[in-house]
Amino acid sequence: MKRPLEWQIATVKALRTETPEVKTLTLSLPDWMAHRPGQHYDVRLTAEDGYSAQRSYSVASEPERTGEIDLAVERIADGEVSPFLDDTVAVGDRFEVRGPIGGYFVWDSSIRGPLLLVAGGSGVVPLMAMLRHRAAAGGKDPARLLYSARTYEQIIYGQELDVLARKNGLAVSYTLTRSQPAGWKGYARRIDDAMLEEVSAPLGRNALAFICGPTALVEVAADGLERVGLPADRIRTERFGPSGA
């Protein structure tokens, strides 16, 4: 019988800046349980006057790391939660979390076959949990990530992705939609059918695809993958509001 999820008090163990807008919070959990890559946690902040605000954040870490999770928080200028988590929270601070949550947009190494990941902006976060888990589990099936960001500076996990792409059959492709550094060799436009065809073709039509990012990007990518031959039942999506893609 599945146990009900209850709120618990997480302690901030470490903080790391990923990009000018994104910070990783490593949280120590007294009631940790292994998540499935792609799941998220709810975070609840409560003020002294009793007012509370709640938001959901995808887990970025792999389930092989016990006792703690990484949440990546993109700062939303007029948000109630993300500015506090990005600008004010310090190591040792505590707040309420509940999770892991989600059962559709999940992947783990027991699911065999080619894996296609498409990310826009901070939509890469749950996909990163999948790739970290894939590496920890020694996955050998081919995998590809297509990652859209506005600028090179807004690529999250860039260095780690470059390391992961050198092992176990993972290929990573980037597209920068706003500006590109000198000598840029990746894509330089919004995701389109031609790009999706180039990235997905080596995986074949049996690939399982996960797409995460802003709604417009997710719809373009999902429809495009169908147009280039991937069956609709092989495409899973998760979308959120405007972001850097």
Q: What is the pLDDT of residues 116-133, one digit of tens each?
A: 999 999 999 999 999 999
Question: Any idea which of 9-23, 71-85, 223-237 has the lowest mean pLDDT?
Answer: 71-85
Asked if residue 38 belongs to a domain, the reply is: yes
Q: What is the pLDDT of residues 168-183, one digit of tens each?
A: 889 999 999 999 999 9
Question: Average pLDDT for residues 45-58, to the nearest whole number?
Answer: 92
Secondary structure E strands in 91-142: 94-101, 115-120
Q: How many domains does the chain have?
A: 2
Q: What is the pLDDT of residue 1?
A: 47
Cα–Cα distance, 186 to 173 (Å, whole number): 7
Same domain, 126 and 64: no
Same domain, 17 and 78: yes
Q: What is the pLDDT of residue 243?
A: 44
The domain boundary, picked from 101, 130, 160, lies at: 101
* pLDDT classification of 5: cutoffs 50, 70, 90: confident
Same domain, 12 and 80: yes
156: closest CA among 64, 42, 244, 65?
244
Domain limits for position 149:
115-240
The helix (H) or strand (E) run that includes residue 67 is none
The model carries a pTM of 0.94
Q: What is the pLDDT of residue 153?
A: 97
Tell me the percentage of the chain whose pLDDT exceeds 90.
Answer: 90
The domain boundary, picked from 55, 72, 101, lies at: 101
Task: Evaluate if residue 11 carries a pLDDT over 70.
Answer: yes
Same domain, 15 and 57: yes
Cα radius of gyration rounded to whole Å, the chain? 18
97: closest CA among 10, 193, 162, 196?
10
126: left (phi over 0), alpha (psi -120 to 50) or beta: alpha
Residue 10 bridge partners (DSSP): 95
Specify the CATH number for the domain of residue 59.
Answer: 2.40.30.10
Asked if residue 1 belongs to a domain, the reply is: no
Same domain, 125 and 95: no
The domain boundary, picked from 78, 101, 124, lies at: 101
